[in-house]
Amino acid sequence: MNHEYDRLYIDGEWRNPSSAQSLSVVSPYTERAIGHVPLAGPADVNAAVAAAAGALRSTGWGTLDPAERADVLERFADELEKNAAERAELTTIQNGMPISISTPAEGYGPVGILRYYAALARALPLEETRDRLDGNGQTVVRRQPIGVVAAVVPWNFPQVLTMFKLAPALAAGSTVVLKPSPETTIDALMLAETAHRAGLPAGVLNIVTGGADVGEYLVAHPGVHKVAFTGSTAAGRKIGEVCGRLLRPVTLELGGKSAAIVLDDADLASTVEGLATASLLNSGQTCYLSTRILAPSSRYGEVLDAVAALAGALPIGDPMDPATAIGPLVSERQRQRVESYIELGKKSGATIAVGGGRPSADTGWFVEPTVFGNVDNGAEIAREEIFGPVLTVIPYRDIDEAVAIANDSDYGLGGTIWTADPAKGLELARRVETGTVGINYFDLDIGAPFGGVKASGLGRELGPEAISAYSEIKSIYLPRLDS
């Protein structure tokens, strides 16, 4: 089925774009075009930002009673639940994510996030009155919408990463201009159709399409009040520079090179079963994955063999097949990047325990899950984000050295600890320099903040904390009202 779009969703309607140029969206499994989307130009971005600003004023989204906003978000969630399977399939055919992952994450994930923020919009007060510390009156601390949000998202989890931004922004009363990735634009346009059906007021969500140039124009636009970005560290640095110059608030969710610390008491069978998702979810194209596996020297050979056996046994193939664990990588360019890291790994003196090549398949940008042993933490394959199914297994002598290796990274996004003693795992988790850590599993909790330290980003998404990221706080000093 072909997905053809020739109009942009701006100000609550489908508009002709300013240019006739279009983008082709290609399936990484068949390597064939699955549809076309229009390419937005500066005039379209200007119109989208103006619409988002207008919605703050004219329809009063920002001043609406939060409970009324929550009603709209709940209707949006109900509509998204109806087409969850269809949106999950769209993600899979665009980026190759195995359908067993896209159905819960991309199909239903956004539904739960919206309902959570709708409930928060109802529950969290907009104002709090505090007695002044000097005793001379009171201060009303008031939360107001930050304004127009530029949301720029990547292709790896397009629906759910969009909702990480959209749901708290809308709950806070802000409005959004979304710039999806060129690889995954069709699902974003379906999201707009769904929002429209749910009765989201005009201008509250607008979508501009295109590549990095459209994103650059949007984040620097004078009408934008806040930037929320998920993507590579390289692009995040550029966006951070622009926002620094403009003194514009920004949230950056960037890359990672997280560590799995396998303790000497860990049960290997359940550890390896957990690593299948904690280290290889979405064919290795997930930002928080534990791609450096730290094994005690005393059990090094055993851990390496078990991880290699796991990686070698994962079913590779058609991402629409529910049995598939490893699908194709998103693009030919991404496969080249991953393969160039495999070559670097070989040159570094590390040894391939399994994988390293391409599986036999007529079409599709596949790379075999690959595990390197004898890896030094200073090697490029241990330091740089590969964003494919490539794991490194690194030995450590004692717990202090394991923590030192885990923390010896430019990144700090995720991480896992595998142990028979979760209390010991918690102790260790406190010492790992990263935004999130899982003990014996890794799965985001939408009620708790998610994000990274160091080159993994700035700020946090999810949890009640995300409401603050889309709000301005105002203090109003006044004489005591009750006197």
Q: Count interface residues toward ligand NAD (CB under 6 A).
A: 29
- Interface region with ligand NAD, contact rule CB under 6 A, candidates 1-9, 152-160, 310-318, 371-379: 152-160
- Cβ distance 189 to 9 under 8 Å? yes
Which of residues 413, 462, 466, 469 is near ligand NAD by CB under 6 A?
Answer: 413
Question: C-beta of 27: minimal distance to ligand NAD in Å?
Answer: 17
Strands 351-354 and 370-373: antiparallel
Which has the closest alpha carbon to 55: 93, 13, 23? 13
How far apart are the C-alpha atoms of 157 and 172, rounded to whole Å?
23
Which of residues 116, 117, 155, 396 is near ligand NAD by CB under 6 A?
Answer: 155
End-to-end CA distance of the chain: 69
Question: C-beta of 369: minimal distance to ligand NAD in Å?
Answer: 18
How far apart are the C-alpha atoms of 314 and 207, rounded to whole Å?
37
Which of residues 72, 219, 316, 402 is near ligand NAD by CB under 6 A?
Answer: 219
Question: C-beta of 64: minimal distance to ligand NAD in Å?
Answer: 29
Question: C-beta of 155: minimal distance to ligand NAD in Å?
Answer: 5
- Answer yes or no whether residue 211 interacts with ligand NAD by CB under 6 A: yes
Question: C-beta of 445: minimal distance to ligand NAD in Å?
Answer: 14
- Interface region with ligand NAD, contact rule CB under 6 A, candidates 88-96, 131-139, 250-258, 402-410: 250-258
- Interface region with ligand NAD, contact rule CB under 6 A, candidates 73-81, 195-203, 210-218, 291-299: 210-218
How far apart are the C-alpha atoms of 40 and 359, rounded to whole Å?
38
How far apart are the C-alpha atoms of 202 and 54, rounded to whole Å?
9
How far are the Cα atoms of 253, 299, 302 from residue 306, in angstroms, in the given order? 32, 11, 6
User: Binding string to ligand NAD for residues 372 to 411, with x set by CB under 6 A, is what?
Assistant: -------------x-x------------------------
- Answer yes or no whether residue 230 interacts with ligand NAD by CB under 6 A: yes
Which of residues 231, 317, 355, 459 is near ligand NAD by CB under 6 A?
Answer: 231
Which has the closest alpha carbon to 148: 210, 65, 72, 61? 61
Active-site residue flag, 287: yes
How far apart are the C-alpha atoms of 416 and 270, rounded to whole Å?
13
Burial label for 130, CB within 10 Å (0-12, 13-18, 19+), is exposed
| Identity of the residue, 76 or 157, whose beta carbon is nearer to ligand NAD in the bound complex | 157
- Interface region with ligand NAD, contact rule CB under 6 A, candidates 43-51, 207-215, 341-349, 350-358: 207-215
- Answer yes or no whether residue 454 interacts with ligand NAD by CB under 6 A: no
- Answer yes or no whether residue 250 interacts with ligand NAD by CB under 6 A: no
- Answer yes or no whether residue 281 interacts with ligand NAD by CB under 6 A: no
Task: Return the SS3 of 89.
Answer: helix
How far are the Cα atoms of 185, 261, 381, 478 from residue 394, in angstroms, in the given order? 38, 10, 11, 60
Q: Which residues contact 52 (CB under 8 A, 6 or more apart)?
A: 148, 149, 175, 176, 177, 203, 204, 206, 223
Find the catalytic residue in 79, 183, 253, 461. 253
- Answer yes or no whether residue 365 interacts with ligand NAD by CB under 6 A: no
Q: Which residues contact 371 (CB under 8 A, 6 or more apart)?
A: 304, 307, 308, 311, 352, 353, 354, 355, 390, 391, 392, 393
Task: Return the SS3 of 394.
Answer: strand
- Answer yes or no whether residue 215 interacts with ligand NAD by CB under 6 A: yes
| Identity of the residue, 231 or 296, whose beta carbon is nearer to ligand NAD in the bound complex | 231
User: Binding string to ligand NAD for residues 284 to 323, with x set by CB under 6 A, is what?
Assistant: ---x------------------------------------
Angle at 164 between CA 434 and CA 190, to 5 degrees: 145
- Answer yes or no whether residue 248 interacts with ligand NAD by CB under 6 A: no
- Cβ distance 419 to 263 under 8 Å? yes
- Answer yes or no whether residue 156 interacts with ligand NAD by CB under 6 A: yes
- Interface region with ligand NAD, contact rule CB under 6 A, candidates 4-12, 66-74, 83-91, 228-236: 228-236
Question: C-beta of 60: minimal distance to ligand NAD in Å?
Answer: 30
Which of residues 41, 96, 158, 255 is near ligand NAD by CB under 6 A?
Answer: 255
- Interface region with ligand NAD, contact rule CB under 6 A, candidates 4-12, 41-49, 112-120, 153-161: 153-161
Question: C-beta of 452: minimal distance to ligand NAD in Å?
Answer: 6
How far apart are the C-alpha atoms of 201 and 443, rounded to whole Å?
33
- Cβ distance 366 to 329 under 8 Å? yes
Query: Residue 424 is encoded by which pair of tokens?
Result: 């010991």
Catalytic residues: 253, 287
Which residues would be at the binding site for ligand NAD (CB under 6 A)? 152-156, 161, 179, 181, 211-212, 215-216, 219, 230-232, 235, 238-239, 253-256, 287, 385, 387, 413, 452, 457
